[in-house]
């Protein structure tokens, strides 16, 4: 896969969110990586309805497992977006070759993944709300990271 900013989804389980993220990445020029298994089929009509024709225009790399993903990223920086982080994304300096990892909508990422990723960030929320929709979170983080590396 070409160099550049990447969004990675850990075992996504809601087709409409994944489709919206594909569209966001396609429109803003980020690569998308999906760590399987997904909680839905790519042929799901809900997925196809939201993704429309953007699937063909976006480079998507699929990994058969998280082990495959982490092996391929051995010498690359991965940033985990998690509600369990203490550092805000606004206090972090993104680089042009970062991979920004988002967990499953239903469960985030396992503790084993938290332990191996050094950079963990959050989107601060008011009133101790639990979390934003993942598609919204990807859009926020992608816009900020692209702004920082002067791509938008």
- Tokens 């087709």 found at: 15
pLDDT tens-digit map of 54-100: 765 456 899 999 999 999 999 999 999 999 999 999 999 999 999 99
CATH code for residues 6-148: 3.40.1280.10
pLDDT tens-digit map of 19-62: 899 989 988 989 999 999 998 887 777 777 777 777 654 568 99
Q: Which residue has the higher pLDDT, 104 or 130?
A: 104
End-to-end CA distance of the chain: 21
Give me the residues paired with residue 108 across strands: 104
- Tokens 């959050």 found at: 122
């Amino acid at each position: 896969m070409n160099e550049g900013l990447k969004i990675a989804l850990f075992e996504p389980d809601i087709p409409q969110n994944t489709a919206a993220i594909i569209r966001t990445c396609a429109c803003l020029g980020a690569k998308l990586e999906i760590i399987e298994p997904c909680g839905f089929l790519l042929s799901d009509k809900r997925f196809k309805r939201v993704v429309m024709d953007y699937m063909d225009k976006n480079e998507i790399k699929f990994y058969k497992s998280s082990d495959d993903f982490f092996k391929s990223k051995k010498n690359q920086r991965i940033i985990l977006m998690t509600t369990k982080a203490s550092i805000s994304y606004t206090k972090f300096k993104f680089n042009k070759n970062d991979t920004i990892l988002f967990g499953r909508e239903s469960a985030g990422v396992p503790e084993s993944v938290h332990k191996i990723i050094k950079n963990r960030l959050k989107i601060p929320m008011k009133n101790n709300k639990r979390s934003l929709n993942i598609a919204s979170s990807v859009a926020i983080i992608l816009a900020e990271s692209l702004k920082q590396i002067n791509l938008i």
